[in-house]
Structure 1
Amino acid sequence: MRVSVVIAAYNAQGYIAEAIESVLGQTVPPDEVIVIDDGSTDGTRSVLERFAGRIVALTQGNSGQAVAVNQGLALARGELIGFCDADDLWTARKQELQLARLERDGELDAVFGKVQQFVSPDVPEQQRARLTPAVEIMPGELKQCMLIRRDALMRIGAFDETLPATFFIAWLGRAKQGGLKTAHVDDIVVRRRLHPGNGGRLHTEAQNLQTLMALRKAIKAQRPPE
């Protein structure tokens, strides 16, 4: 089965190369890697140019991560879809382990795995304590921890572009209500980088509001028509 990986990037010049290398360097590499530059104003584009011939890289006007991810999905040709955030890292066997699980069980729609959070080495010492996670390793129901069959993803529908910070939470809620069949591998598949630029850590009030909006949409969708 062909695997397409989608990465959305915005002002990610410090981390995007390492993220891409972690995807390309898999023990079972993906068939295509699509990076959507969401209107970066730093050197992200010049970093992407170093991967010419190894990735598909496109630039759009700054529209938010959900729009960028949906754009990448529209271009993807694989039967399976994976995601990586521009500042995170796939562990070397992520795709190998998840692909094997999906191949063993044709009834499964998607496979997740564990995530390990780490404070980025470039974070100044005076900021490290604030960013240090309470839990380092946990089950990862995050888009970057998921490998999913394309037809299952499309059955649930595209990501909600009105929820730029919590679009995956909203999508996963819809997916679970729609009977998405999932499994988890008991391995760390993603290393999630923590740094001052993490949107959720800088804008917690906005993220909390969007999470509430996503939950309200999910509840409303469950109600029978009046």
Structure 2
Amino acid sequence: MKNTPLVSVIMPAYNSELYIAEAIQSILNQTYENIELIIFEDGSSDKTRQVIEGFADLRIIKILSDQNCGVVRARNEMIERAGGKYIALMDADDIADPTRLEKQINLLESGQYDVCGSAQWVLDEGTGLIKKSKDKFSDPDLRALLSVYCGLCNSAMTGKAEIFKRFKYDTSILTSEDYYLWVQMAAAGFCFLNLPERLITYRRYPAQTSAIHLEKLKINTIEVQKKYLELLGISQSYYPRHLPFKQRLVDGLGLLRELNRRFSGVSLKANAEIYARFQYRKNGIYTPFTRLERLLVALWATFLVT
């Protein structure tokens, strides 16, 4: 594929012997062939290293660590070594559709966007069930919704290498490091898009939903969301949390006003999702009224905020 830009795919690997061969092969089988696959074997205690060493493809760059450095440092080192115009993220237990890179690079080469993700298949390793992800796709929606959650799947993301090298991963944030990376890029004005095609199969494990993991994630997520408001120049008093009716009208409308002024074109549905974070759940007989409230506020933010 002459005259096509080099794509550096970075894959951290730790105790991934069960799935990494499939992950590697899904990258080597890409219809977009001008790639380098950088794998950081992070001191695994299983046979991950042996699996990696079993691949002889010259496009693979193997970094073998005798100590466990952690996924954040591993990703940052791979970003430093990446020689491509674009960097694609890939986890060692996920599977890329063969057309993933081709479709993403075609979009990025158009010059309209800086970072591109996609919808996913979500494979539950506990039950074996596979389902469709629920995604938002436009740049205004993705960047506005970062104020309440991360709508970007790490293994589906590809973007300009210069942006990844500028920001990298924050080593002080260990459970929401990808969320904070996107927050920094979004606040700096870079444009995102999620392709509607499901270009990644993302594996979900029971450990990801453990009480300890979820508590750490909750704490770090709050820190990231507050930092995002700070980076956007929005008062942290608008931080989305459950509030009584009068107070959420002040803070909820305030946040929506600020976000819609910064990100023109936020959808009605996205505005409603953001405002819902200020409402209490399980309202019983009051549920129809809270839904009506949410709709009216979202309509106001979508069509009247300028």
- TM-score bracket, normalised by the shorter chain, equals 0.7 to 0.9
| Residue in 2 that maps onto 1:180 | 190
Conserved? CA contact 1:81–1:150, under 8 Å: yes
The answer to whether the aligner puts 1:136 opposite 2:144 as a matched pair is no
Deviation for aligned residue 1:132: 5.4
TM-score of the two chains, using structure 2 as the length reference: 0.64
| Residue in 1 that maps onto 2:75 | 69
Q: Does 28-37 or 39-48 show the bigger shift?
A: 28-37
> Residues 3-25 of structure 1, C-alpha deviation per residue, up to 9 Å, x if partnerless?
00000111001111110101111
Q: Percent identity?
A: 27
2-side partners of 1:72 and 1:154: how far apart?
10
2:50 to 27, 46, 51: 46
Deviation for aligned residue 1:169: 0.2
Task: Give the match's secondary structure for 2:55.
Answer: coil
Deviation for aligned residue 1:106: 1.6
> Residues 144-202 of structure 1, C-alpha deviation per residue, up to 9 Å, x if partnerless?
111101123234x1111111221010111111111111223220111001234x5x323
Task: Give the match's secondary structure for 2:92.
Answer: coil
Residue identity in the other structure for 1:21:
Q
Conserved? CA contact 2:96–2:200, under 8 Å: yes
2-side partners of 1:98 and 1:47: how far apart?
28
Deviation for aligned residue 1:43: 0.7
Give the number of the structure with larger relative contact order, counting CA–CA contacts within 8 Å between residues 6 or more apart: 1
1-side partners of 2:154 and 2:202: how far apart?
12
Residue identity in the other structure for 2:209:
R
Conserved? CA contact 1:23–1:30, under 8 Å: no
The CA RMSD over aligned residues, in Å, is 2.0
The answer to whether the aligner puts 1:92 opposite 2:102 as a matched pair is no
Paired residue total:
211
Deviation for aligned residue 1:208: 1.7
| Residue in 1 that maps onto 2:165 | 154
Residue identity in the other structure for 1:31:
I
Q: Given the superposition, is the C-alpha separation of residues 217 and 132 from structure 1 closer, same or farther in structure 2, using an over 3 Å criterion?
A: farther
Task: Give the match's secondary structure for 2:182.
Answer: helix
| Residue in 2 that maps onto 1:123 | none
1:80 to 70, 81, 86: 86
The answer to whether the aligner puts 1:115 opposite 2:120 as a matched pair is yes
The answer to whether the aligner puts 1:208 opposite 2:218 as a matched pair is yes
Unaligned runs of 5+ in 1: 121-126
TM-score of the two chains, using structure 1 as the length reference: 0.85
Conserved? CA contact 2:104–2:158, under 8 Å: yes
| Residue in 1 that maps onto 2:181 | 171
Deviation for aligned residue 1:223: 5.0
Question: Whose strand proportion is higher, 1 or 2?
Answer: 1
Conserved? CA contact 1:5–1:30, under 8 Å: no
Deviation for aligned residue 1:222: 4.3
- Give the number of the structure whose alpha-carbon radius of gyration is greater: 2
| Residue in 2 that maps onto 1:217 | 227
The answer to whether the aligner puts 1:18 opposite 2:16 as a matched pair is no
Deviation for aligned residue 1:30: 4.4
Conserved? CA contact 2:42–2:70, under 8 Å: yes
| Residue in 1 that maps onto 2:64 | 59
Residue identity in the other structure for 1:201:
T
2-side partners of 1:209 and 1:40: how far apart?
28
Question: Whose helix proportion is higher, 1 or 2?
Answer: 2
| Residue in 1 that maps onto 2:201 | 191
2-side partners of 1:110 and 1:223: how far apart?
22
Conserved? CA contact 1:23–1:29, under 8 Å: no
